[in-house]
């Protein structure tokens, strides 16, 4: 690693105590920028790494709400406005007990480069709370969202910062957040994406992250003369990304044979039943263990039975894996097991699901295709960009129109990343290609706009 990159990472380790996942994300991006930074010294001259690794602004606030028993409950709320060089801050809100500043900085940092790759003008941001939606009533969720927005509203706007969903924030939460924004400000602005279809949302936004990641790997496999047809795929997670990954895999002739949640995973040799999965997760908000009740051939394995230090879902033999749950859910031991069992591609639907060691292992295999999150899961935020365009034009496009644009964007991201990997002498290394391509656009904009 070059002295410049090394120094930045060492400084970050000192200034970001306890923010391990942010350091991990920064290490992954910065270490792959070396060929670019060596070939053009302007990035060092203009202190780009020093600047791009510090958020432009972090807002932190208290969220208090009253639970169904009349008891006051208190959580931390945040918005990390990381970089606005190429557009308004854009990125989701995550409600999960694991949320803290380090997690949101990692997500916001990733978002900068992911959004840049989409070709839509969007900067990077992320927000959320350590609020745990699990087991909360609908009214508790509503009161929490209203109180969260009572603080957040003063920091967002359709040309300043446009949040969306992420883990724990779906259509229901976006509705409550939007309602409160409108009540406080009186504005019917497109300040959130992922809105309901009757009130400003975009068709295909719900499907976009999962569909987009399957489109991405399809482009990548095609380039190598391969295809998804007939492939057995292990998918982790059972939220929005996983559901629509399973659905699109089926449409393209592949079969998803697993899904998971934090309590365990389901293996269905007949292929995951998407309709059943949607009913359980989107309508009943049930645990995944319910799946096997109506599918006698399927097997549920609770996480208590996983081999220590591994994620059980990756022990199932498959041709390709789609980690679509959360960060660091696929480690070195997991990828070695997958590889030994015949898996030859990984497509990241979640943000940073693979550890640095797992990524190194994948990149070292000649017969392996690795589609990193920043490129592969950019379809969600890209379609958020399409939602913003429709809102700005006071129009709405058909499902096919949006889906066609999404396919075009995923193809563009793949080609841009591939061409960039070639430009820097590492053809096919999409980690390097996507990081350099995403970074270069933002860094050049920062140089154009002066020292801010």
Q: Binding-site residues, please?
A: 90, 111, 114, 165, 209, 240, 384
Cβ proximity to ligand GLU, 80 vs 257, nearer residue: 80
* Binding site feature residues for NAD(+): 209, 240
H helix runs in 135-223, sequence order: 138-152, 171-185, 205-223
Cβ proximity to ligand GLU, 77 vs 380, nearer residue: 380
Cβ proximity to ligand GLU, 19 vs 384, nearer residue: 384
Least distance (Å) between residue 154 CB and ligand GLU: 19
Residue number of the CB closest to ligand GLU reads: 92
Least distance (Å) between residue 207 CB and ligand GLU: 13
Matching residue, tokens 């943000």: 351
Q: Which residues of this chain interact with ligand GLU, rule CB under 6 A? A: 90-92, 164, 166, 193, 351, 380-381, 384
Round to whole Å and give the CA distance between 320 and 345: 5
What are all long-range contacts of 169-175, with beta carbons under 8 Å and residues at least 24 apart?
169/92, 169/93, 169/94, 169/95, 169/128, 170/194, 170/239, 170/240, 171/196, 171/201, 171/206, 172/138, 172/141, 173/93, 173/95, 173/133, 173/141, 173/145
Least distance (Å) between residue 44 CB and ligand GLU: 29
What b/e string do you get for 234-256 counting C-beta neighbours within 10 Å, with b at 16 or more? bbbbbbbbbbbbbbbbbebebbb
Cβ proximity to ligand GLU, 13 vs 155, nearer residue: 155
Whether 223 is catalytic: no
Q: Which of 126, 136, 195, 374 is catalytic?
A: 126
Least distance (Å) between residue 91 CB and ligand GLU: 5
Instruction: Give the phi and the psi of residue 258 in degrees, each rounded to 5.
Output: -140, 160
Cβ proximity to ligand GLU, 193 vs 218, nearer residue: 193
Distance set, CA 1 to CA 21, 46, 115, 118 (Å) = 20, 20, 26, 28
Helices H, strands E: what count in the chain? 17, 12
Q: How far is CA 320 from the centre of its chain?
A: 19
Least distance (Å) between residue 92 CB and ligand GLU: 3
Q: Which residues are catalytic?
A: 126
């Amino acid at each position: 690693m070059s002295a410049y990159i090394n120094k930045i990472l060492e400084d970050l380790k000192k200034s970001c105590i306890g923010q391990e996942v942010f350091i991990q994300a920064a290490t992954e991006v910065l270490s792959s920028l070396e060929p670019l930074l060596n070939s053009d010294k302007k990035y060092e001259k203009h202190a780009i790494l020093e600047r791009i690794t510090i958020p432009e602004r972090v807002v932190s606030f208290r969220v208090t709400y009253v639970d169904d028993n009349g008891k006051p409950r208190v959580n931390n709320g945040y918005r990390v406005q990381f970089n606005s060089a190429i557009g308004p801050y854009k990125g989701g809100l995550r409600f999960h007990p694991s949320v803290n500043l380090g997690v949101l900085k990692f997500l916001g940092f990733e978002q900068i480069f992911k959004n840049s790759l989409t070709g839509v003008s969007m900067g990077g941001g992320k927000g959320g709370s350590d609020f745990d939606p699990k087991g909360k009533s609908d009214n508790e969720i509503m009161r929490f969202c209203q109180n969260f927005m009572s603080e957040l509203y003063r920091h967002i706007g359709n040309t300043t910062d446009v949040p969306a969903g992420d883990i724990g924030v779906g259509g229901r939460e976006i509705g409550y957040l939007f309602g409160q924004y409108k009540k406080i400000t009186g504005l019917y602005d497109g300040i959130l994406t992922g809105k309901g279809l009757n009130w400003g949302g975009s068709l295909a936004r719900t499907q976009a992250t999962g569909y987009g990641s399957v489109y991405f790997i399809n482009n990548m496999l095609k380039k190598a003369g391969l295809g998804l047809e007939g492939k057995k795929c292990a998918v982790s997670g059972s939220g929005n990304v996983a559901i629509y990954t399973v659905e699109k895999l089926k449409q393209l002739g592949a079969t998803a044979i697993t899904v998971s949640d934090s309590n365990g995973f389901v293996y269905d040799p007949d292929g995951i039943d998407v309709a059943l999965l949607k009913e359980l997760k989107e309508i009943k908000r049930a645990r995944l263990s319910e799946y096997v009740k109506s599918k006698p051939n399927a097997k549920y394995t609770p996480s208590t039975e996983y081999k220590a230090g591994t994620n059980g879902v990756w022990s199932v033999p498959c041709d390709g894996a789609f980690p679509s749950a959360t960060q660091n859910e696929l480690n070195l031991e997991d990828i070695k097991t997958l590889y030994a069992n015949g898996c030859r591609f990984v497509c990241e639907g979640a943000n940073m699901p693979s550890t640095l060691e797992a990524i190194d292992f994948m990149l070292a295999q000649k017969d392996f295709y690795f589609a990193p999150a920043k490129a592969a899961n950019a379809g969600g935020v890209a379609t958020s960009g399409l939602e913003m365009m429709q809102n700005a034009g006071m129009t709405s496009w058909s499902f096919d129109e949006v889906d066609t644009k999404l396919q075009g964007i995923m193809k563009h991201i793949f080609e841009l990343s591939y061409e960039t990997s070639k430009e820097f002498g590492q053809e096919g290394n999409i980690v390097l290609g996507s990081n350099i391509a995403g970074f270069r656009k933002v860094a050049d904009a920062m140089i154009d706009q002066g020292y801010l």
